[in-house]
Amino acid sequence: MMLRSTTREQAQARREKLRERLGRGLVYFPGAKEPVRNYGTFSADFRQSSHVLYFSGVTIPGCGVVLDLDEGRFILFADEMGPDDLVWHDKEPSHKELQELTGADQVQSLSQLKPFLTEAQAAGRTLHVIKENDWAGVKASEDLIRAVVALRLPKTSDEIQQMDEAMRITAKAHELAMAMTRPGLFEHEIQAAVEFIFRSAGALPAYGPIATCRGEVLHACKPHRELKDGQLFLLDAGAELSNGYATDITRAWPVNGRFTESQGAIYDVVLRSQKAAIAASVVGRAYGEVHKVAALEIIEGLKDFGLLKGSTEDIWAADAHALFFPHGVGHMIGLDVHDLEDVGEDYVGYSDGYTRDSDSLGRRYLRLNREMKAGFVVTIEPGIYFIPAYLNDPKMEARYGDFVDFEKARSMTDFGGIRIEDDVHITEDGPVVIGPGILKERSEIEALVGSEATMMDRFRI
């Protein structure tokens, strides 16, 4: 697949909209610096700042994007490569080429950036930056943050198409992971196969994939265990297109391809919860309500299973379900996996008078609670986990003993965890799951898991 990039016209239209919202002054977006691994010349995967990608499409590390709103000018700062650079590095576009590619009114070398900004400030002009910038000596501009959030949160059909394209890559990776799974593989073999698909499509992992048979460890990132017969496997991995658009998908399946009775029962509870939460993701409803819809389904399901007891409302009010569902139902996604969280929770996750309920075991990790608007893209990712750290904690037992059958729960601490996650576009016509539809029905999963279990054997080390 060819690489994708922000087009000159897309970026130009976005700059124009920013100018309409913000009116006057200068805006400065710094490009991300090139990361290094353990030595200066050993590079790691580079990721451009999402703001720079959005407003300019420029992928050069360390560049500077300056928008002069008063004059309606876009000035790009980037170094031109000399003959020595070209011996060692892939060619970046020249200033002339950059001007053509990006529609910049002017391209200057990086050494001109600081004098340019200093001079503008000395002349009394307002400099807007999205994050406090020691180098430029200015604090984050609330006006700029609000304008950028207003532009970037509701996705255009163009952007949805980019996410859809990224999702088609993600779908293939999850299918391959399921097809190759069998007892005796190592977690890192599945992680490698997932990244093989991403990179072979010119994409990257949007975040460090979670590929684990210990799904109850929410951010398990040491994928070196051997998969055992009877275990569940959980994959949380999403591709990011070369233009930065991200996906975030989780599926869980049995290592041997057949759900046990209890695995199947718990799986179906999570799936019901996820479908109910997706259906509840409509314009005008608060995302916290979506979280509650997901949690109530989990409570009902765990009552039927005999792990929770008491009235559903009492369990919800007491947060007893949070022992099994300790995280929030999801977050915004777009150019960032946690879209725009870099500008601060007050502007994105909890704006419009909503505040995070940090004292509630069930809601303290909910990253988002505000009214849904058309164009938002959110993840919907409920899960059920058997977490030894909670289930073996006497304090938890004292607090939740009335609602939780701890003995039964402790008999299941080798269960792991199940999470099912999709990315959902909120539209006036209702929620739309982005992508081709990654399989999640139990029968579909059982048919696929292990169906290509020997495909990698010839190249296995």
Q: How far is the CB of 430 from Mn ion (least distance, A)?
A: 21
Q: Which is nearer to Mn ion, 19 or 331 (CB)?
A: 331
Q: How far is CA 455 from the centre of its chain?
A: 30
Query: What is the contact mask toward Mn ion in residues 330 to 369, using x (rule: CB under 5 A)?
Result: ----------------------------------------
Q: How far is the CB of 456 from Mn ion (least distance, A)?
A: 28
Q: How far is the CB of 191 from Mn ion (least distance, A)?
A: 17
- Residue 379 in contact with Mn ion, rule: CB under 5 A: yes
Among the residue ranges 57-65, 279-287, 374-382, 429-437, the one whose residues contact Mn ion (CB under 5 A): 374-382
Q: Which is nearer to Mn ion, 212 or 379 (CB)?
A: 379
Left, alpha or beta for 230 (phi > 0: left; psi -120 to 50: alpha)? Answer: left
Q: Which is nearer to Mn ion, 74 or 198 (CB)?
A: 198
- Residue 423 in contact with Mn ion, rule: CB under 5 A: no
Q: Which is nearer to Mn ion, 48 or 379 (CB)?
A: 379
Among the residue ranges 60-68, 315-323, 372-380, 410-418, the one whose residues contact Mn ion (CB under 5 A): 372-380
Q: How far is the CB of 167 from Mn ion (least distance, A)?
A: 13
In the three-class reduction of DSSP (H, G, I as helix; E, B as strand; rest coil), residue 36 is classed as strand
Q: How far apart are the first and last CA of the chain?
A: 28
Q: Which of 227, 203, 204 is nearest to 214 (CA)?
A: 227
| Nearest-angstrom CA–CA distance, 140 and 78 | 23
Q: Which is nearer to Mn ion, 92 or 248 (CB)?
A: 248
Q: Which is nearer to Mn ion, 19 or 338 (CB)?
A: 338
- The interface with Mn ion within residues 146-185 (CB under 5 A) comprises none
32, 65 in Cβ contact below 8 A?
no
Among the residue ranges 248-256, 315-323, 406-414, 445-453, the one whose residues contact Mn ion (CB under 5 A): 248-256
Q: How far is the CB of 281 from Mn ion (least distance, A)?
A: 14
In the three-class reduction of DSSP (H, G, I as helix; E, B as strand; rest coil), residue 48 is classed as coil
- Could you tell me how many residues of this chain bind Mn ion (CB under 5 A)? 2
Q: How far is the CB of 421 from Mn ion (least distance, A)?
A: 6
106 Cβ partners below 8 Å, 6+ apart? Answer: 73, 74, 75, 76, 99
Over its C-alpha atoms, the chain yields an Rg (Å, rounded) of 24
- The interface with Mn ion within residues 74-113 (CB under 5 A) comprises none
Q: How far is the CB of 379 from Mn ion (least distance, A)?
A: 4
The residue sitting closest to Mn ion, measured at its beta carbon, is 248
Phi, psi of 28 (to 5 degrees): -125, 120
Q: Which is nearer to Mn ion, 321 or 367 (CB)?
A: 367
| Nearest-angstrom CA–CA distance, 349 and 268 | 29
| Nearest-angstrom CA–CA distance, 172 and 188 | 18
HEC secondary structure over 165-210 = HHHHHHHHHHHHHHHHCCCCCEHHHHHHHHHHHHHHCCCEECCCCE
Q: How far is the CB of 68 from Mn ion (least distance, A)?
A: 37
Q: Which is nearer to Mn ion, 130 or 249 (CB)?
A: 249
- Residue 248 in contact with Mn ion, rule: CB under 5 A: yes
Give the containing element (helix H, strand E) for 302. Answer: helix 287-305
Among the residue ranges 119-127, 199-207, 349-357, 371-379, the one whose residues contact Mn ion (CB under 5 A): 371-379
| Nearest-angstrom CA–CA distance, 150 and 373 | 11
How are beta strands 232-236 and 250-254 bridged, if at all?
Answer: antiparallel
Q: How far is the CB of 27 from Mn ion (least distance, A)?
A: 30
- Residue 274 in contact with Mn ion, rule: CB under 5 A: no
Among the residue ranges 12-20, 28-36, 169-177, 244-252, the one whose residues contact Mn ion (CB under 5 A): 244-252
Cα separations in angstroms, 331 against 169, 324, 367: 21, 19, 6
Cα separations in angstroms, 333 against 273, 357, 375, 377, 378: 20, 22, 11, 6, 6
Q: How far is the CB of 185 from Mn ion (least distance, A)?
A: 25
Q: Which is nearer to Mn ion, 147 or 384 (CB)?
A: 384
In the three-class reduction of DSSP (H, G, I as helix; E, B as strand; rest coil), residue 190 is classed as helix
Give the containing element (helix H, strand E) for 68. Answer: strand 64-68
Q: Which of 455, 13, 458 is nearest to 197 (CA)?
A: 455
Residues near Mn ion (CB under 5 A): 248, 379
